[in-house]
């Protein structure tokens, strides 16, 4: 049952951002490109909050069809990435909260996730590019966590990347981004990886 709930939340998050607020949202945008940094961060937080509330059973959050104000004016690709990250973080919370987990007899999901680059975006947020494979014989959805650590080993931020319904034997290039700026040198490390049949 949990898988169906998670799938519904992912679809809702993607629909909210990728399908709404197109031209109308762009017309009402403030700051356009120059205000992108604060708008992206605020949009991330707003969507993450909506997803969490929805998974917790909040009726208003589940039925919301309004684009969060900070997301207005963002391009579709950015909104899609934000929705996927917010849904991925919610999935990680739901599956990795110390509760019950299903055992897997298939290949190790973590072994199917590889970091191909580690750096920052133009706004100073840490990001990692990932190659996610599905070495099982069935279509799978994978949610991967990346931990960004400082040179002294301090955990500075987390990021998430999700691949929905990746076919057996398939691979996908994805990005995981931390939600706060960090300075100095850091490393990108694979954290938890959850995978389930979809």
What's the DSSP call for residue 68? P
Nearest to 20, CA basis, from 57, 61, 73, 59: 73
Where are the extended beta strands (E) located within the chain? 113-120, 126-133, 140-150, 155-166, 171-177, 186-197
pLDDT for 139-166, tens place per residue? Answer: 999 999 999 999 999 999 999 999 999 9
Q: CA angle 69-61-46, nearest 5°?
A: 35
Report the sign of the C-alpha dihedral through residues 158, 109, 78, 8, in that order. Answer: negative
pTM: 0.54
Higher pLDDT, 140 or 61: 140
pLDDT tens for each residue of 162-195? 999 999 999 999 999 998 888 899 999 999 999 9
Tokens standing for residue 93: 């919370």
Q: What is residue 119's predicted lDDT score, i.e. its pLDDT?
A: 95
Q: Residue 93: its pLDDT value, please?
A: 59
- Three-state secondary structure call for residue 4: helix
Q: Enumerate the CATH 2.60.40.10 domain ranges in the chain, comma separated.
A: 110-197
Q: What SS3 class is residue 30?
A: coil
69: helix, coil or strand?
Answer: helix
In CATH terms, the fold of domain 110-197 is: Immunoglobulin-like (2.60.40)
- Cα–Cα dist 19/13, whole Å: 10
126 with 165: CB under 8 angstroms? Answer: no
85-122 residue pLDDT tens: 776 666 555 544 433 434 344 568 999 999 999 999 98
pLDDT at position 192: 94
Read off the pLDDT of residues 16-45 as tens digits, 9 standing for 90 and up. Answer: 555 444 443 333 333 333 344 446 777 877
Other CB atoms within a 10 A radius of the CB of residue 163 amount to 24
């Amino acid at each position: 049952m949990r898988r169906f709930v998670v799938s519904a939340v992912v679809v809702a998050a993607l629909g909210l951002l990728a399908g709404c607020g197109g031209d109308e949202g762009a017309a009402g945008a403030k700051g356009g490109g120059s205000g992108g940094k604060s708008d992206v961060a605020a949009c991330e937080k707003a969507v993450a909050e909506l997803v969490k509330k929805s998974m917790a059973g909040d009726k208003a959050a589940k039925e919301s069809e309004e684009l969060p104000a900070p997301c207005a004016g963002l391009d579709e690709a950015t909104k899609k990435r934000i929705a996927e990250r917010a849904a991925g973080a919610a999935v990680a919370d739901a599956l990795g909260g110390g509760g019950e987990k299903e055992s897997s007899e298939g290949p190790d999901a973590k072994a199917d996730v590889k970091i191909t680059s580690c750096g920052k975006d133009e706004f100073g947020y840490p990001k990692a590019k990932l190659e996610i494979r599905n070495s099982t014989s069935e279509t799978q959805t994978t949610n991967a966590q990346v931990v960004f650590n400082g040179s002294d080993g301090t955990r500075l931020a987390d990021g998430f990347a999700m691949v929905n319904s990746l076919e057996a034997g398939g691979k996908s290039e994805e990005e995981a981004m931390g939600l706060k700026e960090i300075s100095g040198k850091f490393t990108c490390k694979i954290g938890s990886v959850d995978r389930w049949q979809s």
